[in-house]
Amino acid sequence: MLTPITPSQPIGRFAPSPTGELHLGSLTTALASFCHIKSLGGKWLLRIEDTDTERCDRQFTEQILIDLEALGLQWDGDVIYQSERIDIYNDYLSSVLRPLTYGCQCSRKDLEHYWAHHDQDQLDENEGAKKHLPNRKRYPRQCIAAELDKEQHKLRIQLPDYRIGFNDGIQGLQWDNPQQTLGDMVVRRQDGMINYILAASLDDGLQQVTHIMRGLDILPMTTAQISIMHAARLPAVDYWYHLPLICNPDGQKLSKQNLAQPIDTRDPSRLIAHALELLQQPAVDIDTPTNMLEQAIAQWANSPLQDKQQMTLTSQ
C-alpha cells in the first residue's frame, strides 16, 4: 500500500472523466483550478478518472490532453490513469476499509420497489398528505447483516451518522451528515468496477492534494469523501472550493448529458478570454495562451465567485 507524505507546497488537480470531450463547463473548471493553484505557487496535477470502462473512451482521453496543451494548461508530473490503479483501490478495500464494507445483492429494481412502498406507507400515515422524504433514496441497509461474499456481490461502505463541517472557499461553511444524505454508498460494482467516490478519495490522499477546486454538483459528495479519506488514514484535503455551475439559457448545467458542445481549440486565446469572463476574473490582454495564463494567474481572485451557485450563458 502506498504511504503518502506531507507535501511541501500546495497541490491541486484537474480530474476529468473521458466520457466525452471537454466542453465550456469543464474548461472553466480546469482553468480555475490551474490559475488558483498556480497563484499559490503550487503544482497542478492531471488525473484521468476512467474507471467506468463502459462509458470512458481512450479517444476522449487523448483529445482532452490535446485540448489542455493547446490552451497552455500544462500539468505537473505524469498523468495518472485510474484504470491503471484498480489494484490499489482493492488493496484499501481488503485492508483498512474492510471493517466498513459489506456485500449487497439489492438490484435497482429491488430498491425502486422498496422506495415506492415506503412512500405509500408515509401517505397512509398522513391521510393522503404526502410527507416530505428528503432521504427517500438512501439505501435501507437491507444487506448489512447478510454476510454476503464481498467478492461476489457489489460492495457498499458505511458512512458515519454524524454531521461533518468544512469551510468552502467559494460556497462558505458547509455542514452535512453523510449517512443521512447519502447512506451506504456502492464503492465497487459486482463486475469489479470501482466507483467514483472511492477512487477519487483515495487518489486525492495518495497524491497529497491540498486544494480541490471543482464543480458545485460534486459538493454533496464532499462529506463522504472526507469520511473515506479519514477511514483510509490518508491526509485530509486542506481547502475545498466548489465553483458555480455554468448553465445554458434554460438553466441546465452544461454537461455531456445535456449535449454541451465540445470546445474548439483552434482559437485558444478566445476560449481562455471567454472562460475567464465567465469566472468573473479581470480581463487579460489577448495574447498567446502562455502569456494570457500568466496574467490570469497574477490576477486570480476567488472573491467574485463567492456565494454564487450558477452562471448563465447568454448564448451557446
| pLDDT computed for residue 149 by the predictor | 96
Whether 133 has a pLDDT exceeding 60, the answer reads no
Contact 234, 205 (CB under 8 A): yes
Q: What is the DSSP letter of 36?
A: H
Compute the distance between CA of residue 197 and CA of residue 313 in angstroms, rounded to an integer.
30
Which residues are bridge partners to 129 per DSSP?
A: none
For 220-253, give the secondary structure using H, E and C. Answer: HHHHHHHHHHHHCCCCCCCEEEEECEEECCCCCE
> pLDDT (tens digit, 9 = 90+) per residue, 180-228?
999 999 999 999 999 999 999 999 999 999 999 999 999 999 999 999 9
CATH topology (fold) of 11-83+199-312: Rossmann fold (3.40.50)
Sorting pLDDT into bands at 50, 70 and 90, what band is 291?
very high
Compute the distance between CA of residue 231 and CA of residue 120 in angstroms, rounded to an integer.
37
pTM beyond 0.85: the answer is yes
Sequence spans of domains, the chain: 11-83+199-312
Helices 24-39/268-278 angle, 10° precision: 80
Grid look-up 449487497 returns 104
Compute the distance between CA of residue 96 and CA of residue 152 in angstroms, rounded to an integer.
20
At 22 the three-state DSSP class reads coil
Candidates 64, 74, 6, 81; CA nearest to 38 is 74
73 vs 2, higher pLDDT: 73
| pLDDT computed for residue 314 by the predictor | 60
| pLDDT computed for residue 209 by the predictor | 98
> pLDDT (tens digit, 9 = 90+) per residue, 81-114?
999 999 999 999 999 999 999 999 999 998 998 8
